[in-house]
Structures are given as structure tokens and as C-alpha cells.
Amino acid sequence: MPEASRVRAPDQILTVVAMRSAEAALIAAGSSVEALMQTAGRGAADYVWRMAARRRVTVLTGPGNNGGDGWVIAEALRERGVPVVVVAACEPKTEAARVARDGYGGAVLGPQDAVAGEVLVDCLFGSGLTRPLEARDAALLARLAASHPQRVAIDVPSGVESDTGACLNEGLPTFDMTVALGAWKYAHVLMPAAAKMGGLKLVDIGCRADHGGVEHGVGRMLRRPMLRVPAADAHKYKRGLLAVVAGAMPGAALLAARAAQGAGAGYVKLLAPGVPGGLPADLVLELVLEPRDLAERLEDARLGALLVGPGLGRDEGARDRLKAVLASGVPAVLDADALVLLTPKMLRGRERLPLGLIATPHEGELDALERAFGLAAAKGGAPGSKVERARVLARATGMVIVAKGPDTVIAGPANESGAVVLCAPRASSWLSTAGTGDVLAGCIASRLAGGSAPLAAAGEGVWLHGEAARGLIGPFSAGALAEAVPQAYAAALT
């Protein structure tokens, strides 16, 4: 069965088109738009009810089915004794929304009426919006948001493009909670929209997008991996030998190696032939330093994975180290300087090997890779969403792409169901400090050395990195983050 077909319903991420297809399948199986609206609206009302705690609630409704969800939410709250009023921006324009309005028995105000309350529920527009809000709708939303101290968005906040996470209007309000209906949308995890959504909740209405991968709009939310305690007969090589290739700035490689030790690898070596200036005097004792010829070290048949890039440099010597890593045929993680030096020519021949490469670019390095592989011109200079960019680059290079940042996206090379895409939950903003990318690379490389498949290793490493940050009180250094990785690993043990 294709990978995407095995995605659990609470984990799936759907485009607008894929969501409509999934809803159509439910209707074809005997449900109705009205029944799905009741399920979604009453499920969302449960979350609003807990937040409101019987305080005054204002529900803002619009013309479509998202507005219909709002009428259902309002009635469900009214039935529970919550003081609720609906502000109708306009009359419902779909049959299901009209039915929902007719089922509401409470107070209704117009867009010009003054209203104040404790909780605003935004049901003006949901997913599917591709153009900015009209001035009157934007002004109404802003006015209500300003007069309510707590705010909830239903499905996605109004003014947000669901498939890309773009904010279609300037100055959109922020929300304390966003309740996704039926499935996660890419806007829930992509910046800049994700920063406005507060806590994320999901109402499952039975949608099952089992018809393909991200080619059909299906991605997956990254969840806690299921890691295990080493087997009783384990030894350091069974747990994985990782070699980290140092370069002009060995401190970065050392930081990545320290993180790798806490992410599960049984043996971590630092390969540092001819590193200028030597290595730090307080070199971690558990690390094995190999200053000898790099090519000779790469012939070790016990190697589980390589990491190259952190502190590598960009001179000819650095380029030679990268070429040696790629020529070795050992699974590898490419980070930092390695991504700037990488060319399509260096990857020739790797496609014949059943061994994986993982690239971990930040935004600038993602741009550089797109230019190097001729993808920037193909886009006509207009970048697509981060999901689309990662997916296209994975297909073009054959590598797993970890497009890192506050909205990290992991894209695997194409398989029979299209390229698999994983999206990580919002990361801690305290990670915006030097060296945390080296820690991430070390975590991923450690999982790769331990035997995880490239896509799984990338997901496990990203999760460990994010969990380590969540366990710290900021601000923190990259060194403190690396020291927290073992605790994150313990949190993932089954």
C-alpha cells in the first residue's frame, strides 16, 4: 500500500482540492453536506465552550459553508447556556449554510451593529480563499478582534490562503486557538500564517484521503517517533557508527557530533584531517578523533552514515572533502557549507546506489540549491509554497530535503504515490540562534547511522530537535540544546 494511504486520519494534511474530494467521498457513501456541517460545527463548539467557560461569545459568519459552521457552533453553545450572538456579515449563500442558519435560535446582529464580548469565533471565510478580504470584511474582522480579548479561528483564519500559508491581507488578527475541520491544512504549519493561529485543535469528521500522496494534496503531520531501548545484545556498531567530517570551523562539527551522541548513535567519530588551527582543548572525551587521511577513513565498512557541512568551509579543500563523502556511497547528511558547494555533477552516479542522502537547507541554502539545480528559472522567479519547493527539489536531486526553519518541511523523493511530505509542528522561536542547525544535522545523521531509512531518519531527527528545545527555558545556546537531546530521546521511547 502506498505510504500516503497508511496516514492516520488525525495526521493527514490536505489541500483545498483534496479536502473537497474527501468530503465528496463521504457524501457519496451516504452522508450529506448538512450532516458533515453538524459534525464539524458541534465538534468545534466543544473547544469553544471550554475556552468560553460561559463567558460571552460572538460568532462572525460569512456567506459560505464556513459561515454555516458558525451558525451550528452558535446554536450548540446556546443550547449549553453560553451567552452567544451571531454577527452575520451577509446572508448565507449556500443551501447548507441556510439550513444551519434556520436551525439557530439566538440573537443575530448585522455588520454595522456594536458588539463586545470575551470570545470571538471567526467563521467569516475558511479554507479555499485565494484573494484578499474585501475592505469592509477586513475592517469588520479587525473591529471585532479588537473588542474581544480571546479569539478562535474555525478551519483557518479569514484572510489566509489554506494551501500556502500566505496572509492575503496585511494586519490580520492573531488567534488564541484554531480549530481545523476534517483534516489539517498546510496553512496550519506554514509561515507566516501558522504564527497567527495559536493552539491547534482538530475535529475529525471521517475524511480519509486514501487516493495518493502529495501529488493529490496529501501530506502528513510529523508526530512523536517510536524509539526503542537498545537490544540486550547491542554493541556500539549495531547502534550505528557515524563519522562527522570537520573543516575550517571544527567547533560546528563538534557541536553536531555532541548532538549525535544523544540521538542514539553508538559510536561517533570526528574526521578532522588537516583541520587548520587544530581542535578545541576541551574536546569531548567520548568522541573519537581521526586526523588521518579522509579517503582511508571513509573505506571503513562499519560506517552507518556520514555528516558533512557544519563548519566545513567553502575552499577547494572543503570541496574535495564533500566529493569524497559523496563518492564513498555511504548514506550521508549534507548541511550548511556542503549545500552551497553541492553541484548536480557531484550527485551523478548516486542514483544507482540504494543508499540515501539527506539535505538540510535553511531558506538561503534552499535558494542556492534551487539555482544550482536549475529550478529557480523553472519557477519563473516566483517561488511556490515551501511544501512545493521542497517536493520539487527532492524529486530533482533524489535526496530527502529537510527545508528547516520555524515551519520545517520534509520531502522525500518520488515513489509510486508521489513525493511524501512531512510537516513539523511550529518550533520554539528560541531556536533562532547560531548553531542550532548543527544540532539538527547531528540528530538526523545519528538516526541515519542507526539504521533508520532516510525519510524516517529526517523525521526522527527533526522531532528530537524540536522536543529538546521544548524542554528548555529560553534563551538557550546551541550547546545547551545538544545537551538536551538525550532527554528528548527518552521522551520518545516506547
pLDDT tens, 225-273? 999 999 999 888 889 999 999 988 888 999 999 999 999 999 999 998 6
Contacts of 158 (CB under 8 A, 6+ apart): 62, 122, 124, 125, 126, 129, 133, 137, 141, 172
For the residues 158-164, what does the mean pLDDT come to?
A: 96
Q: Where are the beta strands (DSSP E) in 15-93?
A: 57-61, 84-88
Q: What percent of the chain clears pLDDT 90, i.e. is strictly above it?
A: 77
- Given 221, 254, 272, which residue is the final one in a domain? 221
Question: Based on the domain organization, do 141 and 249 belong to the same domain?
Answer: no
Phi-psi region of 472 (alpha: psi -120 to 50; beta: other; left: phi over 0): beta
Residues 489 and 227: their CA atoms lie apart, in Å, by: 8
Q: What is the pLDDT of residues 354-364, one digit of tens each?
A: 568 999 999 99
Question: Based on the domain organization, do 196 and 282 belong to the same domain?
Answer: no
What is the pLDDT at residue 5? Answer: 38
Residue type at 57 in one-letter notation: V
Residues 262 and 483: their CA atoms lie apart, in Å, by: 8
Q: The CATH number of the domain where 314 resides is what?
A: 3.40.1190.20
Residues constituting the chain: 494
Element (H, E) at 271: strand 267-271
What is the pLDDT at residue 10? Answer: 76
> Mean pLDDT: which of 321-335, 372-386, 408-422 is highest?
321-335
Question: Based on the domain organization, do 204 and 261 belong to the same domain?
Answer: no
Residues 329 and 352: their CA atoms lie apart, in Å, by: 10
Question: Based on the domain organization, do 198 and 138 belong to the same domain?
Answer: yes
| DSSP letter for each residue of 363-431 | HHHHHHHHHHTTHHHHTTT----HHHHHHHHHHHHSSEEEE-STT-EEEEEEETTEEEEEEPPPPPGGG
Question: Based on the domain organization, do 275 and 159 belong to the same domain?
Answer: no
Question: Based on the domain organization, do 377 and 432 belong to the same domain?
Answer: yes
**199-203 sheet: strands from edge to edge:** 107-109, 84-88, 57-61, 119-123, 150-154, 177-181, 199-203
Residue in this structure with the C-alpha cell 464580548, named with its chain if needed:
117
Of the candidates 237, 235, 273, 241, which has an alpha carbon nearest to the alpha carbon of residue 257?
Answer: 241
Give, in order, the Cα–Cα distances in Å from 107 to each of 58, 145, 166, 256, 364: 10, 19, 34, 59, 52
Domains: count for the chain: 2
Contacts of 6 (CB under 8 A, 6+ apart): none
Task: Tell whether the torsion through CA atoms of 391, 398, 347 and 261 is positive or negative.
Answer: positive
Tell me 174's DSSP state: P
Of the pLDDT bands very low, low, confident and very high (cuts 50, 70, 90), residue 212 is very low
Cβ contact 253:277 at 8 Å: no
Residue in this structure with the C-alpha cell 524509539, named with its chain if needed:
227
Q: Give domain status of residue 437, yes or no.
A: yes
Q: Could you tell me which residue, 352 or 107, shows the higher pLDDT?
A: 107
Q: Give domain status of residue 453, yes or no.
A: yes
Q: What is the pLDDT of residues 459-472, one digit of tens each?
A: 999 999 999 999 99
Residues 399 and 342: their CA atoms lie apart, in Å, by: 12
List the single range of 50-59, 163-172, 376-385, 408-417 with lowest mean pLDDT: 376-385
Question: Based on the domain organization, do 111 and 210 belong to the same domain?
Answer: yes
Q: Give domain status of residue 234, yes or no.
A: no
Q: Give domain status of residue 227, yes or no.
A: no
- Given 189, 221, 253, which residue is the final one in a domain? 221
Residues 222 and 220: their CA atoms lie apart, in Å, by: 6
Q: Give domain status of residue 233, yes or no.
A: no
Peptide bond before 475: cis, by omega within 30 degrees of 0? yes
Report whether pLDDT(278) > 60.
no
For the residues 374-401, what does the mean pLDDT come to?
A: 81
Question: Based on the domain organization, do 337 and 438 belong to the same domain?
Answer: yes
Question: Based on the domain organization, do 290 and 416 belong to the same domain?
Answer: yes
Q: Give domain status of residue 194, yes or no.
A: yes
Report whether pLDDT(382) > 80.
no
Question: Based on the domain organization, do 248 and 117 belong to the same domain?
Answer: no
Question: Based on the domain organization, do 275 and 308 belong to the same domain?
Answer: yes
What is the pLDDT at residue 381? Answer: 46
Range of the domain at 269: 241-491
Residues 120 and 198: their CA atoms lie apart, in Å, by: 14
Q: What is the pLDDT of residues 79-126, one digit of tens each?
A: 999 999 999 999 999 999 999 999 999 999 999 999 989 999 999 998
Contacts of 29 (CB under 8 A, 6+ apart): none
Cβ contact 124:63 at 8 Å: no
Q: The CATH number of the domain where 112 resides is what?
A: 3.40.50.10260
Cβ contact 114:143 at 8 Å: no
- Given 160, 186, 221, which residue is the final one in a domain? 221
Q: Give domain status of residue 230, yes or no.
A: no
- CB atoms inside a 10 Å sphere around CB 233: 6
pTM for the predicted model, two decimal places: 0.91
Q: Give domain status of residue 478, yes or no.
A: yes
Report whether pLDDT(65) > 80.
yes
Question: Based on the domain organization, do 264 and 198 belong to the same domain?
Answer: no
Residues 440 and 353: their CA atoms lie apart, in Å, by: 25
Instruction: For residue 148, give the 3-state DSSP assignment.
Output: coil
